[in-house]
Chain A
Amino acid sequence: MELNLQELKQTEFPVPVELEDNIAITSLSQLYNWGRRNSLWPMLFGLACCAIEMIATASSRFDFSRFGFEVMRATPRQADLMIVSGTVTKKMVVPIVRLYNQMPEPKYVLAMGACASGGGPFKEGYNVVSGMDKYLPVDVYVPGCPPTPQALLYGMIALQRKIDGQSIANGDDVPWYGVGPAEPTPVPVLGPDIIDPRQMDMIRRQAESAAMEMAALGQRELPAATQMVAAKATTQEAVAAAPAEVDSDALNFVLPTGGTPWSEAEDIREKRRLRALARKAVRATRRAAETDEG
């Protein structure tokens, strides 16, 4: 939402006549959002094919500077927006998470193209992460393989709209409006396969149960529990015949950094969602009232 100077001057608060030209009243959230949405500097950071279209979007024909994505910065310390432009591999996700942690808040992530959104054509590959959102919170997904520059521009403008709706009054709206610094995202570890530290407990449990049950299976069969879930997904009968249930404790693992247990986190998320919906409704009614007046 652009700030309209005319509207800013017509306030309900009494302003002395001689100061009328110098005083504008708006909400702090709006002012913050206005500043943020119009100076989003993307990180100069290309992964794959999409990066070429991102460069095309930055250059003269499409030119995203027109919309406030002024200049690309090569260092994460000066960037607000990470455009994940291409296939995220397991080997590359480690530096990507580090880069994200190095970006100052507020920071946004845009998943450009099919690969960054969900693995894309390479999803089945053994070195491919099926979507950036497995590791980082993604704000906008742009479909396409690669998305045209127009599509990317549309996605970037969608991000601006999203920023418009954020509120400084609610600490749980976005992390950086909350209290204190945000926790950095744990950096994945390259072991025998990529390991997300947030899933360490679950992996340990699965691996232990698998080690007990299987020795005769081939060198890289999935753990036994995995196969059970696979069977469940395909046929109902298989579940009935399965000798044991999936370890339900696996879902209750505790974050290694001492975070909230899974079940409580779910509750909090649910509350946040309801509050966000309520706010949205309030905003909608307010907007409707404004248009009626107008």
Chain B
Amino acid sequence: MVEALATEETIDAQTIDGAIAYLQTQFPDAVKLDDREGYQGLIVDSAQLLKVARAIRDDLGFDYLSSATAVDYLGVDDHMEMVYHAYRTSGGGALVFKAQTDREDAQIPSLVPVWRGADFQEREAWDLYGIRFPGHPNLKRILMWEGFHGHPMRKDWREAYYEEEVKPFDSRWPGGHVHRSEEKNVFGKNVAYPPEIDLNRLMDSSETSVYSSLGLGVDIEQIMDKDGFETNQLVVNMGPHHPSTHGVFRMVLTVDGETVTSLEPVMGYLHRNHEKIGERNTYLHNIPFTDRLDYISSMGNNHGYVLAVEQLMSLGRRYNPPTYRCEALRVMMVELSRIVNHLWAIGFWLNDIGAFFTPVLYFIQERERILDFFEAVAGSRMMCNYMRFGGLFADLPERIKSVSNLANDRVRDYNTMQFLTEMVNERIPRTIDELEQLLTQNEIVLERSIGVGILSAEDAINYSAAGPLLRGSGVAYDIRRADPYSIYPELDFDIAVEQEGDMYARYRVRVQELRESVRILRQILPRLEATKGESIWADGKVGAYAPRVPLGEAYGRVENGKGELGYYIVSAGGKNGSSNPWRYHVRAPSFINLTPMGIMSTGYKVADIVGILGSIDIVLGETDR
């Protein structure tokens, strides 16, 4: 097929296949098809990566670099690989391209000059895999601290509590005697030190590196300001313990008076090794772990993950796609968690701009109602662990009954469909109306948010911003429409978009999305009634709980409340596939949305920074993973 398209005139570069063919004719010696079983896209020669990437962005129009991540193929091909997924903001599928490098001296040219969105992702690859990126403006560790021993995601790096390569582990109580990881470690806790450690000259260098990129060795420095006055430049640390940082996030600012001259996000304070643990886990094990990524919208996290694994499973022979009822239930749950997410985001953004905790109380009210429903269906308020490969944990219950009965809580016993109908048609719209009435024309909100934290459309795309941050900058890019999945194509809803790119625009996008979610839910309810009695599993049988996933790679992405949530999964190993992922990577919107934080904040006042961070809406479980 590729030979047939060899002449340039016949190549339709609009399709993905066409784009690949175009690159093959343009760079015959630099690119080749990735012909490994189950893989897609191109392998680009590292030396010419930058040239090819420019062509991909400028000639082919793939202006949005969604994900860039590393894979260590130790024992398979013994090389490291960077995998890039590029998209067009006009919609369509991914152009996947990869660059390979030697494990010992891992070097791949940085793509930051082409897509600024690669910045944090390449730093993460350096931190966890030890791949150097010549040309990167600020290549240092991002999740672990400077000075940490080794690059932990490498396949030959073992943690202090290492037990076995993959789960399920052998019994932890052989012969009836329980043993714990602490007992195996001589230090009694989760630490291991390299033998060459010199405790006499131990320096905590983790902090100095944070300040070094700001060009500062000290807290206060004499500078000449723009008007020629001598003044002091001050470094202000916000976080990791700070009420406005939505968790354990940290920002290092340099300020000139009240005005921020530069800002650097520092993260990793909640880096709990999601991906390393995920590679030891079986596929099923990972579902509850995804709950804990963006812990405000766990249903959305589940959805992205099962989509990615289902995409891989569909390469195999025995695979039944989910039933219609299952899809409808999934969409309903995801939209409900989007509502929870946006209510929470708006409430906490108001905290940040000064309305401390009063507005939140209004919004939490409705959130509690939705959580009650989740609890009745999935068994847990927040960590729902609800979706399965090819199905769901359970169908809707007939009635919703109260499990917890507090003194100030009425005993609950509702018909589920009635409860949902009331919630979707009355309670949630009422809450949104109330929210708009209180805020949309509120003078203080307008004063604080209009024209603050501006991100232009070009920057938003180039920095790989996603979700309300991207749409608030006038880019109508919503994965539910741009690269549809599940039953979204048949649902009627609009993409919320605002042109201004400031804090207020992001607020408006969230309010619109709340309304669109209600609109979707209204269409879902009759579909649930119509499919009543249908199984949530194909063939009526519970699907494979611990599937053997065929060889290959998959990138499943969904539009979560915070933005594009993607899962890059590689199944490698034996001939028949594997029951543990070889690589499990989360493209976290909260993480990548922080890349433009620096340019969004420069020139604003310290008090605005807090609001700008709130308007991005991050959650640290996902940022640090």
Question: Do B199 and A203 touch across chains, with their CB atoms under 8 A apart?
Answer: yes
* Residue of chain A at shortest CB distance from B239: A95
> Which one of A49-57, A237-245, A266-274 is at the interface?
A49-57
Q: How large is the interface on B (under 10, 10 to 19, 20 to 34, 35 or more residues)?
A: 35 or more
Q: In chain B, residues 269-287, which have Cβ atoms closer than 8 Å to a Cβ of chain A?
A: 269-274, 276-277, 280
Contact mask for chain B residues 355-388; partner A; CB cutoff 8 A; 1 contact, 0 none: 0010011001100100000000000011100000
With an 8 Å Cβ cutoff, the count of chain A residues facing the other chain is: 74
Are A134 and B189 within 8 A (Cβ)? yes
A128 touches B197 (CB 8 A): no
**Contact residues in B for A89 (Cβ distance below 8 Å):** 268-272
Q: Closest approach, in angstroms, between the C-beta of A103 and any C-beta of chain B?
A: 12
List, in ascending order, chain B residues with CB within 8 A of A175's CB.
none
B69: min CB distance to chain A, Å: 18
Contacts A74-B243, A192-B194, A222-B192 given; does A202 touch B187 at CB 8 Å: yes
Interface stretch of the complex, out of A9-17, A115-123, A285-293: A115-123
- Check if B409 is an interface residue, CB within 8 A of chain A: yes
Contact of A225 with B by CB under 8 A: yes
CB-defined interface of B307-343 with A at 8 Å, one 1/0 digit per residue?
A: 0000000000000000000000000000000000000
A197 to chain B, nearest CB (A): 10
Report A-chain residues with C-beta under 8 Å of the C-beta of B399. Answer: none
Residues of A200-225 contacting chain B, CB below 8 A = 200, 202-204, 206-207, 210-211, 214-215, 218-223, 225
Q: Which residues of chain B come closer than 8 Å to A127, judged between CB atoms?
A: 143-144, 152, 268, 271-273
Does B32 interact with chain A (Cβ within 8 Å)? no
Of A48, A87, A194, the contact of B191 (CB 8 Å cutoff) = A194
**B14 contacts A by Cβ under 8 Å:** no
Having A48-B272, A49-B621, one finds 16 other A-B pairs with CB under 8 Å, namely A48-B247, A55-B364, A61-B409, A91-B144, A123-B181, A124-B277, A127-B152, A127-B273, A128-B272, A130-B182, A190-B206, A196-B189, A204-B199, A207-B197, A223-B193, A233-B179
B295 CB–A CB distance under 8 Å: yes
Q: Is B430 interfacial (CB-CB < 8 Å)? A: no
- Interchain CB contact under 8 A, B161 and A124: yes
Q: Which chain A residues lie closer than 8 Å to B179 at the CB level?
A: 233-234
Contact B383 A222 (CB under 8 A): no
Indicate if the CB atoms of A192 and B149 lie closer than 8 Å: yes
Q: Is B39 positioned at the interface, with any CB of A under 8 Å from its CB? A: no
User: Which A residues fall within an 8 A CB radius of B?
Assistant: 44-49, 51-53, 55-56, 59-62, 74, 86-87, 89-92, 95, 99, 115, 119, 121-130, 134, 145-146, 148, 150, 189-196, 199-200, 202-204, 206-207, 210-211, 214-215, 218-223, 225-226, 229-230, 233-234, 246, 250
- Residue numbers in A under 8 Å from B77 (CB-CB): none
A128-B190, A229-B186 given as contacts; is B149 within 8 A of A220 (CB)?
Answer: yes
For the complex of A and B, list the 4 residue pairs with the smallest distance between their C-beta atoms, beginning with the closest: A125-B273, A192-B149, A49-B295, A126-B159
- The answer to whether B138 has its CB under 8 Å from any CB of chain A is no
**A48 & B295 in contact (Cβ 8 Å cutoff):** yes
A132 to B272 Cα, complex, angstroms:
15
Q: How far is the CB of B197 from chain A (nearest CB, A)?
A: 5
CB distance from A182 to the nearest CB of B (A): 21
For residue B293, which residue of chain A has the nearest CB? A49
- Whether the pair A210, B195 counts as a contact (CB closer than 8 A) is yes
How far does the alpha carbon of A148 sit from the alpha carbon of B199 in the complex, in Å? 43
